[in-house]
Amino acid sequence: MNWEKIYNDAKLWVKEAGERIRSSFQQTLTIRTKSNPNDLVTDIDQEIEQFFINKIREVYPGHKIIGEEGYGDQLEQLEGIVWLIDPIDGTMNFVHQQRNFAISLGIYENGIGKIGIIYDIVHDEMYHTLRGTGAYLNNHPLPLLPERTVNESIIALNAIWVMENHRINHQLLIPLARDARGTRSYGSAALELVYVATGRVDAYISMRLSPWDYAAGALLIEELGGVVTNLRGKKLDFLSKDSLLAAKPGLHQVILKDYLNNGNW
Ligand code: 2AM
Ligand code: CA
Ligand code: CA
Ligand code: CA
């Protein structure tokens, strides 16, 4: 398998998709809702997913695709090469702010991550990794992540997870939010994972994400020595929704043990 070629093709297509999204700022969006009134999708989300699928099917007909908007394959296992695509991560931000959104693309082989790409279109910042060759912001290598204590950490965390029960007892998160130096919420899981990878935040917590939200980000963080699991400390599931805890080395273990009771809840 020529992973260098797949890596180069994927980066090229992500860049091209980004240009399409950037030029869509001039046009009127068609906005629909999905699972609830705050769960948005636009015609651009759908067009961009189809753009990727056409490219992949043309050049790599044997590869499989999981896309958020449902134009890919319905997979029950991760055998072979699988592209996990979120055409726009942070659709609400895309609609309301025209910033704070990204394209997220992960490529896995038999369930093992090989390529992760997250493109912050508005800033023209592409974060990418081919497993084992380092992680980059455009052409600049990103440094390995240092250890960090809870008291000196900024934790990306949506307020809703601390307000009411979702999967875990929200009371567990209150001491963590209090002990941290600060909390933030950006509304794009892919960018929040990139912020962990670049050290702009020290940890990111979510109760409910889908494989296309974290397929790329988890790889970028792991390539830099960070740790990514679900909130019980288990390996992430790439075929169904899961919770997520991503953090600097050391900090991940402390949050899991001292705040999340090692997943015993
Ligand atoms: P999306 O914009 O691609 O839908 C928002 O806090 C973050 O959670 C975004 O990364 C968003 O991805 C993701 N998310 C996952 N499931 C969601 C849902 N049901 N509704 C809204 N956002 C969701
Ligand atoms: Ca969505
Ligand atoms: Ca998403
Ligand atoms: Ca999306």
163 pLDDT higher than 90: no
Q: pTM score, two decimals?
A: 0.97
| CA-68 nearest atom, ligand 1 | 3
pLDDT in tens, 99-114: 999 999 999 999 999 9
The ipTM value here is 0.97
Domains of the chain (ranges, CATH numbers):
3-141 (3.30.540.10), 150-263 (3.40.190.80)
Nearest CA to ligand 1 atom 15: 209
| DSSP bridge pairs for 157 | 205
- Ligand nearest to the backbone CA of 213: 3
| CA-213 nearest atom, ligand 1 | 10
pLDDT in tens, 40-54: 999 999 999 999 999
pLDDT in tens, 183-214: 999 999 999 999 999 999 999 999 999 999 99
Nearest CA to ligand 1 atom 16: 209
CA distance 193 to 119: 12
Distance from the CA of 160 to the center of ligand 4, in angstroms? 19
Distance from the CA of 209 to the center of ligand 3, in angstroms? 7
pLDDT band at residue 258 using 50, 70 and 90 as cut-offs: very high
Give the chain's mean pLDDT.
96
| DSSP bridge pairs for 108 | 82, 113
